[in-house]
């Protein structure tokens, strides 16, 4: 007897969460930089919500809509001052459907 294996993607799981945007008040900002550091570049690959990306000028940008507030970016970049991170105002941010 073969047991069926169900494969699920992270994107499918993230779709279950909801995010309430606080217009004009992002809770994360990338500070201006000439050239992104290795840690800032790493965020383009390790952020589970894929909020960070390189623009045409080689700068790392963030789109905080959909951020899971997991803290990965804080661990990698906040102490070096490359990002500014605050908790979203009450009632805004990620709303986890299953916990």
The pLDDT tens digits of the residues spanning 12-64 come to: 766 677 878 889 999 999 999 999 999 999 999 999 889 999 999 999 999 99
Mean pLDDT of 3-15: 71
Domain boundaries in the chain?
17-94
pTM of the predicted model, to two decimals?
Answer: 0.78
Q: How far apart are CA 52 and CA 16, in angstroms?
A: 20
User: Of the CATH numbers 3.40.50.2300, 3.30.70.20, 3.10.20.880, 3.40.50.10470, which one belongs to the domain with range 17-94?
Assistant: 3.30.70.20
**What is the structure's pLDDT at 14?**
67
């Amino acid at each position: 007897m073969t047991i069926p294996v169900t494969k699920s993607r992270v994107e499918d799981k993230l779709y279950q969460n909801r995010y309430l945007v606080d217009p004009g008040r992002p809770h994360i900002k990338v500070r201006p930089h000439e050239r992104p550091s290795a840690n800032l570049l790493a965020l383009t690959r390790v952020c589970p919500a894929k909020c960070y990306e390189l623009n045409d000028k080689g700068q790392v940008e963030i789109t905080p809509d959909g951020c899971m507030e997991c803290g990965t970016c804080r661990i990698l970049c906040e102490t070096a001052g490359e990002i500014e991170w605050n908790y979203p105002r009450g009632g805004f941010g990620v709303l986890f459907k299953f916990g």
